[in-house]
């Protein structure tokens, strides 16, 4: 006899409107509410087994910690669930296109992670005897050689911990060089274009320089005449991003470098956009004196939700003597680490140890995988993809600077949204509903309502085409008056738009025990 | 090339759509004379297998901490990290996401940071903590700059037992920022008279506990004197596990507490990436550098988290920002937070106790070695010993015998006349056999 | 000489005898968006025209407030610390920043009156 018992294998035909009811848990399928560890953890629970030590006489003097620390613990299964559930609330490169301009959100190969976890590279201490870390020093040296070859420079300071730290390092080398010339008191101005990243003026100010702004002209680039007009005996340096934040190559860069040098200043190049030019042109050949390289952008060390980064700084011959310690030196006997600045012109030290070794391993792995040919191809594909997006959207979304090709990112403005009731922010938030991370918004500041898109070289043509079609559909809808689709977006993300005003007006920056228990008890009586 | 999805055919089709002949047309803005004519002088692309072979070659020429009796500390410590920590931080959604600027699709990172901030504040007994700094040394420098902003003074007094590299970083940056530093000479036995250095120009006093030489310090009197003179006390630690057993600086009146968080959740990694912990008093919140996650609600009135108070930061304030930092150490902070959640208060206290017990055992053992002297009265898991001859030679010789013994003080303070001093650390990762091996080897020196 | 006088940076000073009440214009608060924090000067301090005396922050922007004329700060609106939103809801009234003793009333002549300020705003699109 046939067994006709069991579950139905076809859904029943929908009987009309689907009703989105509230669930008991507040969860929606795989989208779950996850409480804070302080709400579920208990101070007497632990997920790590540690034996009590045998009786001993402490040597703490009077410094024993007495009061409760108040750190909740989770068993391992609870911890796994908590963090996996949290992770599911994040967008990620691994999950989809991440077109954040200026951030170079490219694929992060897992081979990099595997290599970074080799015990011989991860389980070594920065202060081990140098004879026991020759491989690590050789690796740093090898990475330095790649960076110098790619950028056409003479030296590289490896220790800076991130891009802004690299900027600080480069600018400190410049300041040290100027002081060595005896001009420390007179040269105290740094030229920064209006289109620069915010870190540039912040870095200049940090090391005691004042900032003189250079306007970007209507073409989106800096004109040599404007630089010349701003130059003078008080100028220490110019800080220029190239390719710049409008996604354009600074055509006058050689003349700008020459003018700055002629006036006795140095040229700091923000290397955030190196991904556009590898194997095509070398910044050193263009006359730059210092440039930080964001290993977490160009060389794919993962962004990790906001760090850690790594920001080695390549230096010209003029600045090389002022590089910070420590640095790796090489002779017949092998590699050694120079750890002290005494007796040299080095400006000192940037960080406790040698820099972001874990990121060095990943970056070198990435470089070896690509080779010189692959790096060049990566840059070409990144630039090709950005121009392709521009070509496929320019009839429907307006953008400035159309008379020159863009580099690895393309900027649109919000003129095309005029009268629709939809802002750049709304448009970006609606991208979330379509399953995309928004592009960079309102940056660069010189473009009104800017939308800065950087696809990177990691997208297939099919992926680019779907992205383009999605934006086209959204643009049509915005213009057709479907404003509500945008102004209330996102609808389908783990959360709706968050109240940032409230967060800033009444900052709640840590969890505190609610005092409601007693109040409720009183109310119940 | 396995990471590049475009085919030659795709590329041709795309160029056509753009309306150019060749890829080089897109690079036309690069001055022709400067365009690279030749290929980069670099090897060609390689398969995974070939790359692994090369990287393993580098790795093979290093001695991992796990492979030998290991007692090196001085600002980075060998601890066991639970397997689940490394698994969780490799979740795609944590590993390959950007800074959580779009809170609707970044709640995982944001909630984690909020939890991290709370853990750090509780651990240091302070009121607020940020979402992490690059590492302890850069955090320390940022704390000094913050104190200058708050007090509108420009002189920092550094204890002679502050980690020498931390002091170096403060000195280098202060020189550039036109601020003054009064750095005390090395203070091996915690008897420097730092109170005498505090005057009307002093913006802050920077003291480490457990200090560089391992001594535990009561900071209460320094805090009091600082506050009398309108200066701030910055307390530094390099071993976060110590806070499971040792009185936190927040309970002793510190205004800013900064430290290295590597010990929890993070490996040695030859010096980085690490994670700087940074906490302060509520009243100084708006002068604090770094990112902050804050609680709020969304349009449906559900609790959520956002990056907040960002007007302090460089992308808005530009040259008036509190700091030029734009990244934190997100993934390392995540590793810290996961490990800390696994430990909980119970686990952390036990871990700290085991560390201390192991160090006490080692100190007792080494004190019994002829010619070796243990200098500390108090310590947590690291202390200073005096050895016959030069400590650097001893360390090198012991390395030849398969023991990674400790850090010669002269490596960090070369001209201080402390050539016979060595820092020795013992964590939960050391066995009795390890300690015995070190004691025996020292006997034979 | 009474009423409000405006600067190019959108501060106003409302003259009351020898004293002036300083705040930001309605246009400025609209441009800033939701104000979340106001940093006020110390009372008793004297400033020159153009000196930076205060900071006003919204979620997305921070602006410096400059002294409209020479003078000494004699009172600040500490209510703004708890209720920065008042700057948005009533910039000309309860959302004032601080009160000064005007050192040189002649300087007021160099500021814009209501009509001139309205004209000035038209030039900003």
The CA–CA distances, whole Å, from A248 to A213, A386, A390, A407, A410 equal: 19, 11, 13, 6, 8
Task: Summarize pLDDT for C16-41 with one digit per residue, the tens.
Answer: 999 999 999 999 999 888 999 898 98
Residue in chain C nearest A501 by alpha carbon: C59
Phi-psi region of B258 (alpha: psi -120 to 50; beta: other; left: phi over 0): beta
Residues of B in contact with C36 (CB under 8 A): 311
C64–B311 C-beta distance less than 8 A: no
Query: Is there a contact between B103 and B109 (Cβ–Cβ < 8 Å)?
Result: no
* Min Cα separation B201/chain A (Å): 19
B311–C59 C-beta distance less than 8 A: yes
Look up tokens 């993934």; give the residue.
B331
CB contact, 8 Å: C61 with chain B?
A: yes
β-pairing verdict for A440-441 and A451-453:
antiparallel
CB contact, 8 Å: B320 with chain C?
A: yes
SS3 A349: strand
* Min Cα separation B304/chain A (Å): 7
B108–A87 C-beta distance less than 8 A: yes
Tokens linked to B137: 């040394």
Residues 6+ apart with CB under 8 A from A1: none
Look up tokens 């010789």; give the residue.
B397
β-pairing verdict for A290-292 and B303-307:
unpaired
Does C50 or B212 have the greater pLDDT score? B212
Does A30 or B374 have the greater pLDDT score? B374
Sign of CA dihedral A164, A427, B311, B237: negative
Distance between CA atoms of residues A237 and A257, nearest Å: 10
Note the pLDDT of residue A202.
86
Query: Is there a contact between A165 and B172 (Cβ–Cβ < 8 Å)?
Result: no
Note the pLDDT of residue A524.
46
Residues of C in contact with A501 (CB under 8 A): 34, 36, 59
A353–B270 C-beta distance less than 8 A: yes
Tell me how long chain C is. Answer: 125
* Min Cα separation C12/chain A (Å): 24
* Min Cα separation B321/chain C (Å): 10
pLDDT for B120 beyond 60:
yes
Look at domain C4-122 and name its CATH class. Answer: mainly beta
Selecting from A47, A308, A372 the residue whose C-beta is nearest the C-beta of B273 gives A308
The three state secondary structure string of A376-441 is HHHHHHHHHHHHHHHHHHCCCCCCCCCCCCCCCCEEECCHHHCCCCCCHHHHHHHHHHCCCCCCEE
Residues of C in contact with B286 (CB under 8 A): 37, 39
Task: Summarize pLDDT for B135-146 with one digit per residue, the tens.
Answer: 999 999 999 999
- DSSP H stretches of helix in A67-162: 76-87, 110-116, 119-122, 134-151
Residues of C in contact with A504 (CB under 8 A): 36-37, 57, 59
The CA–CA distances, whole Å, from A333 to A137, A336, B138, B363 equal: 13, 9, 33, 36
Q: Phi and psi dihedrals of B12, rounded to 5?
A: -60, -45
Residues of A in contact with C37 (CB under 8 A): 504-505
Query: Is there a contact between B284 and A169 (Cβ–Cβ < 8 Å)?
Result: no
Residue-level pLDDT, tens digit, chain A, 525 residues = 666 677 777 777 666 566 678 889 888 888 889 999 999 999 999 999 999 999 999 999 999 999 999 999 999 999 999 999 999 999 999 999 999 998 999 999 999 999 999 999 999 999 999 999 999 999 999 999 999 999 999 999 999 999 999 999 999 999 999 999 999 999 999 999 887 888 888 889 888 899 999 987 778 889 999 999 999 999 999 999 999 989 999 999 999 999 999 999 999 999 989 999 999 999 999 999 999 999 999 999 999 999 899 999 999 999 999 999 999 999 888 999 999 988 899 999 999 999 999 999 999 999 999 999 999 999 999 999 999 999 999 999 999 998 899 999 999 999 999 999 999 999 999 999 999 999 999 888 889 999 999 999 999 999 999 999 999 999 999 999 999 999 999 999 999 999 999 999 889 999 998 875 555 444 444
**Which of these, A383, A377, A393, lies nearest to B25 by C-alpha position?**
A383
Distance between CA atoms of residues A247 and A450, nearest Å: 12
Q: Phi and psi dihedrals of A79, rounded to 5?
A: -65, -45
Distance between CA atoms of residues B85 and B71, nearest Å: 24
Give the distance from CA B298 to its chain's centroid.
34
Selecting from A375, A383, A497 the residue whose C-beta is nearest the C-beta of B26 gives A383
B286–C37 C-beta distance less than 8 A: yes
In DSSP notation, C74-91 reads: EEE-THHHH-TTHHHH-T
Tokens linked to C65: 């407030």
The three state secondary structure string of chain B is CCCCCCCHHHHHHHHHHHCCCCHHHHHCCCCHHHCCCCCCCCCECCCHHHHHHHHHHHHHCECCHHHCCECCCCCCCCCCCCHHHHHHHCCHHHHCCCCCCCHHHEHHHHHHHHHHHHHHHHHHCCCEECCCECCHHHHHHHHHHHHHHHHCCCEEEECCCCCHHHHHHHHHHHHHCCCEEEECCCCCCCCCCCHHHCCCCEEEEEEECCCCCCCCCCCHHHHHHHHHCCCEEEEEECCHHHHHCECCHHHHCCCEEEEECCCCCCCCHHHCCCCEEEEECHHHHHHCCCCCEEEEEECCCCEEEEECCHHHCHHHHHHHCCCCCCCCCHHHHHHHHHHHHHHHHHHHHHHHHHHHHHHHHHHHHHHCCCCCEECCCCCCCEEEEECCCCHHHHHHHHHHCCCECCEEHHHHCCCCCCCCEEEEECCCCCCHHHHHHHHHHHHCC
Residue in chain C nearest A502 by alpha carbon: C36
Distance between CA atoms of residues B213 and C98, nearest Å: 52
Distance between CA atoms of residues B247 and B378, nearest Å: 13
Q: Where are the domains of chain C?
A: 4-122
Q: Phi and psi dihedrals of A217, rounded to 5?
A: -85, -175
CB contact, 8 Å: C34 with chain B?
A: no
Q: Running DSSP on this structure, what letter comes out for residue A1?
A: -
Note the pLDDT of residue C1.
43
Residues of B in contact with C64 (CB under 8 A): 320
Residues of A in contact with B98 (CB under 8 A): 98, 100, 103, 105, 303, 305-306, 437
Output the pTM of the full model: 0.94
Quick one: angle between helices B107-124 and A76-87, nearest 10? Answer: 130
Rg (CA), chain C: 13
Query: Is there a contact between A151 and A282 (Cβ–Cβ < 8 Å)?
Result: yes
The pLDDT mean for chain B works out to 95
For range B43-68, the mean pLDDT = 98
**Which of these, A127, A271, A260, A110, lies nearest to A199 by C-alpha position?**
A271
Task: Summarize pLDDT for B178-221 with one digit per residue, the tens.
Answer: 899 999 999 999 999 999 999 999 999 999 999 999 999 999 99
Note the pLDDT of residue A521.
47
Distance between CA atoms of residues A276 and B12, nearest Å: 19
Angle at A141 between CA A135 and CA A146, to 5 degrees: 125
Residues of A in contact with C59 (CB under 8 A): 500-501, 504
B60: buried, middle or exposed (CB in 10 Å: 19+, 13-18, 0-12)? exposed
Query: Is there a contact between A309 and A359 (Cβ–Cβ < 8 Å)?
Result: yes
CB contact, 8 Å: B367 with chain A?
A: no
* Min Cα separation A369/chain C (Å): 41
Query: Is there a contact between C72 and C49 (Cβ–Cβ < 8 Å)?
Result: no
The CA–CA distances, whole Å, from C32 to A444, A501, C59, C85, C123 equal: 18, 12, 8, 12, 18
Residues 6+ apart with CB under 8 A from A312: A143, A144, A147, A156, A157, A158, A159, A160, A166, A292, A293, A295, A355
For range B283-303, the mean pLDDT = 94
Tokens linked to B425: 């650390």
Distance between CA atoms of residues B7 and B9, nearest Å: 5
Distance between CA atoms of residues B308 and B330, nearest Å: 16
The three state secondary structure string of A161-196 is CCHHHHHHHHHHHHHHHHHHCCCCCCCCEEEEECCC
Domains assigned to chain B: 65-81+345-443 (3.90.1150.10), 83-339 (3.40.640.10)
pLDDT for C2 beyond 60:
no
Residue in chain B nearest C57 by alpha carbon: B311
Q: Best of B13, B62, B131, B154 to disrupt the A interface by mutation (most A CBs within 10 Å)? A: B62
Note the pLDDT of residue B72.
98
Residues 6+ apart with CB under 8 A from C70: C46, C47, C48, C49, C102, C103, C104, C107
A369–B51 C-beta distance less than 8 A: yes
Residue A181's CB is within 10 A of a number of other CB atoms, namely 10
CB contact, 8 Å: A505 with chain C?
A: yes
Look up tokens 């991370």; give the residue.
A437
For range B26-40, the mean pLDDT = 94
A500–C37 C-beta distance less than 8 A: no
Edge-to-edge strand list for the sheet holding B202-208: B128-129, B276-280, B256-260, B232-237, B202-208, B155-158, B180-183
Q: Best of A415, A442, A504, A507 to disrupt the C interface by mutation (most C CBs within 10 Å)? A: A504
Distance between CA atoms of residues B160 and B157, nearest Å: 9
* Min Cα separation A332/chain B (Å): 16
Distance between CA atoms of residues A225 and B388, nearest Å: 68
Domains assigned to chain A: 113-368 (3.40.640.10), 385-505 (3.90.1150.10)
């Amino acid at each position: 006899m046939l067994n006709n018992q069991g579950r139905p294998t076809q859904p029943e035909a929908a009987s009309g409107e689907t009703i989105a009811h509230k669930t008991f848990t507040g969860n929606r399928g795989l989208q779950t509410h996850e409480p804070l560890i302080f709400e579920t953890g208990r101070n007497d629970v632990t997920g790590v087994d540690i034996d009590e030590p045998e009786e001993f006489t402490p040597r703490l003097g009077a410094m024993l910690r007495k009061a409760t620390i108040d750190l909740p613990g989770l068993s391992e299964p609870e911890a796994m669930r908590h963090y996996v559930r949290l992770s599911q609330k994040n967008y990620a490169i691994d999950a989809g296109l991440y077109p954040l301009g200026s951030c170079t959100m490219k694929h992060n190969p897992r081979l990099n992670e595997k290599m970074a976890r080799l015990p011989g590279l991860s389980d070594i201490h920065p202060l081990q005897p140098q004879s026991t870390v020759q491989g690590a020093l050789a690796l740093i040296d090898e990475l330095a050689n790649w960076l110098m070859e790619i950028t056409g420079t003479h030296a590289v300071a490896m220790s800076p911990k991130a891009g802004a730290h690299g900027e600080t390092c480069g600018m400190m080398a410049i300041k040290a060089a100027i002081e060595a010339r005896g001009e420390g008191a007179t040269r105290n101005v740094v030229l920064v274009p209006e289109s620069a990243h915010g870190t540039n003026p912040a870095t200049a100010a940090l090391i005691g320089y004042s900032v003189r702004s250079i306007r970007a002209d209507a073409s989106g680039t800096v004109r040599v005449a404007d630089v010349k007009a701003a130059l003078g005996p008080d100028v220490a340096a110019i800080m220029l991003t190239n390719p710049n934040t409008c996604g354009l190559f600074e055509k006058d860069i050689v003349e700008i470098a020459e003018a700055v040098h002629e006036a006795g200043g140095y040229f700091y190049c923000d290397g955030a956009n190196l991904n556009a030019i590898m194997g095509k042109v070398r910044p050193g050949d263009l006359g730059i004196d210092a440039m930080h390289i964001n290993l977490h952008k160009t060389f794919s060390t993962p962004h990790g939700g906001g760090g850690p980064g790594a920001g080695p700084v390549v230096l010209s011959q003029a600045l090389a003597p002022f590089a910070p310690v420590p640095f790796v030196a090489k002779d017949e006997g092998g590699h050694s680490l120079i750890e002290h600045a005494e007796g040299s012109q080095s400006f000192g030290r940037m960080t406790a140890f040698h820099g972001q070794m874990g990121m060095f391993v990943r970056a070198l792995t990435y470089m070896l995988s690509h080779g010189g040919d692959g790096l060049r191809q990566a840059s070409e594909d990144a630039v090709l993809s950005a121009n392709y997006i521009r070509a496929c959207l320019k009839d429907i979304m307006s953008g400035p600077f159309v008379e020159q090709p863009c580099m690895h990112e393309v900027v649109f403005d919000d003129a095309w949204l005029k009268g629709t009731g939809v802002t750049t922010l709304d448009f970006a938030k609606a991208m979330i509903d379509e399953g995309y991370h928004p592009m960079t918004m309102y940056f660069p500041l010189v473009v009104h309502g800017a939308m800065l898109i950087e696809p990177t070289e990691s997208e297939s043509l099919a992926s680019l085409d779907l992205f383009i079609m999605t934006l086209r559909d959204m643009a049509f809808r915005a213009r057709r008056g479907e404003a509500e689709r945008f102004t209330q977006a996102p609808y389908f993300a783990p959360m709706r738009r968050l109240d940032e005003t409230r967060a800033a007006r009444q900052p709640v920056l840590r969890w505190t025990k609610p005092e409601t228990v007693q109040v409720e008890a009183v109310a119940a009586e | 090339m396995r990471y590049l999805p475009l085919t030659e055919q795709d590329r041709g089709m795309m160029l056509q759509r753009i309306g150019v002949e060749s890829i080089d047309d897109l690079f036309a803005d690069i001055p022709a004379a400067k365009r690279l004519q030749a290929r980069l002088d670099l090897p060609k692309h390689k398969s995974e297998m070939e790359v692994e072979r090369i990287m393993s070659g580098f790795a093979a020429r290093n001695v991992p901490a796990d492979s030998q009796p290991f007692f090196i500390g001085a600002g980075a410590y060998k601890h066991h990290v639970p397997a689940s920590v490394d698994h969780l931080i490799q979740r795609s959604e944590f590993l390959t996401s950007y800074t959580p600027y779009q809170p609707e699709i970044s709640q995982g990172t944001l909630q984690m940071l909020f939890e991290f901030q709370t853990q750090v504040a509780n651990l240091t007994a302070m009121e607020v903590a940020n979402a992490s700094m690059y590492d302890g040394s850069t955090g320390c420098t940022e704390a000094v700059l913050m104190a200058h902003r708050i007090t509108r003074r420009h002189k920092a007094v550094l204890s002679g037992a502050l980690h020498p590299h931390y002091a170096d970083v403060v000195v280098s940056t202060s020189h550039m920022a036109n601020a003054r530093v009064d750095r005390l000479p090395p203070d091996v036995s915690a008897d420097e008279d730092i109170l005498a250095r505090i005057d009307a120009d002093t913006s802050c006093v920077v003291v480490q506990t457990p200090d560089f030489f391992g001594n535990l310090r009561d900071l209460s009197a320094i805090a009091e004197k600082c506050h009398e003179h309108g200066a701030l006390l910055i307390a530094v630690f390099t071993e976060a596990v110590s806070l499971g057993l040792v009185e936190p600086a927040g309970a002793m009146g510190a205004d800013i507490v900064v430290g290295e968080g590597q010990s929890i959740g993070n490996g040695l990694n030859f010096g980085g990436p690490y994670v700087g912990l940074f906490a302060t008093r509520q009243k100084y919140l708006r002068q604090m550098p770094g990112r902050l996650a804050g609680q709020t609600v969304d349009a449906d009135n559900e609790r959520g988290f956002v990056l907040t108070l960002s007007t302090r930061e460089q992308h808005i304030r530009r040259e008036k920002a509190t700091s030029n930092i734009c990244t934190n150490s997100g993934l390392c902070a995540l590793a810290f937070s996961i490990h800390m959640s696994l430990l909980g208060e119970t686990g952390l206290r036990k871990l700290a106790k085991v560390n201390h017990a192991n160090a006490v055992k080692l100190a007792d053992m080494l004190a019994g070695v002829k010619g070796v002297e243990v200098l500390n009265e108090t310590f947590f898991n690291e202390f200073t010993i005096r050895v016959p001859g030069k400590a650097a030679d001893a360390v090198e010789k012991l390395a030849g015998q398969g023991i990674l013994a400790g850090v010669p003080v002269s490596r960090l303070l070369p001209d201080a006349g402390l050539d016979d001093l060595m820092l020795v650390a013992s964590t939960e990762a050391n066995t009795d056999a390890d300690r015995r091996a070190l004691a025996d080897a020292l006997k034979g020196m | 000489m009474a009423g409000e006088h405006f600067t190019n940076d959108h501060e106003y000073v409302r003259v009351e005898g020898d004293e002036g009440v300083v705040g930001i214009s309605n246009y400025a608060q609209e441009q800033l968006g939701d104000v979340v924090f106001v940093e006020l000067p110390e009372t008793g301090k004297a400033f020159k025209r153009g000196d930076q005396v205060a900071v006003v922050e919204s979620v997305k922007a921070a602006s410096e407030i400059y002294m409209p004329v020479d003078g000494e700060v004699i009172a600040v609106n500490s209510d703004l610390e708890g209720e920065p939103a008042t700057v948005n809801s009533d910039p000309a009234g309860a959302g004032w920043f601080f009160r000064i003793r005007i050192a040189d009333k002649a300087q007021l002549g160099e500021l814009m009156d209501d009509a001139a300020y309205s004209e000035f705003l038209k030039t900003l699109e």
